[in-house]
Amino acid sequence: MIFSMRKIYGLICVIISMFALQIMAMEPEVTMTARYDELDATEQESLKNQAFDYIYDGNLPGVQGLLDRGVPINSRDYFEGNTLLIEASQLGHGEIALELIRRGAQINVKNNNGESALLKAAAEGELSIVRALLTAGVEVNSPDQEGKTPLIYAAEYGDNAVAVELLNNGADKDASDNEWKTALIYAAMGSHLDVAQTLIGRGVYVHYQDNTGLRAYDYTPDGSAVEALLRPLTARKSKA
């Protein structure tokens, strides 16, 4: 009798354990289909983090699915305060960026460093994203905390196609950063001939001095093509 009771007790424990495992197995499925506003704070945060993971992987369907479930489209990460759109622009995932813009993501919002989606796209040379943001009406001259505009970033990294697109959409060709350096100065520093030619063709002021009193020509490497371009426009170099 005692043996039978132990056997029955063991059988009951097995049944309870199996039932518990079935419940646990069902919970992820519920979480995977629940809407964002139906979840607790921890689960909501998990979904937002998953959205950034999907963007990092370039997983457009994954991002779309989470947005359909109500994940806030302007969610920010904890590291730089990037929004989903800023993150997609920085990583060059054009299809995701376009989807976010189409769904109404805020296009002028900035992260903790004062960087917008347009700044990130310009710095990374993501022309399609730059065009999409400009078409959506983004602020073309909005600078970051260093005072750098999207055009300055395009010039610094030598992306002439992005520079042209920005200039065609109202970028200030003579804007300067916190060190008073202009796009032309950055183009000269990097020996980016095509960008320098574009800026000069648009009538940029070649004698603009930064906070050290140097002009674009003063930053050109001796014997470089950019030096040859700027030499007829400048009397002499100011550097020693």
CATH of the domain at 104: 1.25.40.20
How many domains is the chain partitioned into structurally?
Answer: 1
In a domain, residue 60? The reply is yes
In a domain, 85, yes or no: yes
Cα–Cα dist 177/73, whole Å? 31
Model pLDDT for residues 74-83, shown as the tens digit of each residue: 999 988 999 9
* pLDDT(4) > 70: no
Q: Which residue has the higher pLDDT, 40 or 158?
A: 158
Whether residue 17 lies inside any domain: the answer is: no
Residue 32 lies in a domain: no
Residue 198 within a domain: no
What local confidence, expressed as pLDDT, does residue 235 receive? Answer: 64
Q: pLDDT class for 25, splitting at 50, 70, 90?
A: very low
Tens of pLDDT, residues 60-102? 999 999 999 999 999 999 889 999 999 999 999 999 999 999 9
Q: What is the pTM of this model?
A: 0.82
Q: The tokens of 72 are what?
A: 């806030």
- Of 55-59, 212-216, 224-228, 232-236, give the lowest mean pLDDT range: 232-236
Average pLDDT, the chain: 88
Quick check: is 19 in a domain?
no
Domain range for 100 is 40-113
DSSP structure string for 132-180: HHHHTT--TT---TT---HHHHHHHTT-HHHHHHHHHTT--TT-B-TT-
Q: Is residue 52 part of a domain?
A: yes
Query: Does some domain include residue 109?
Result: yes
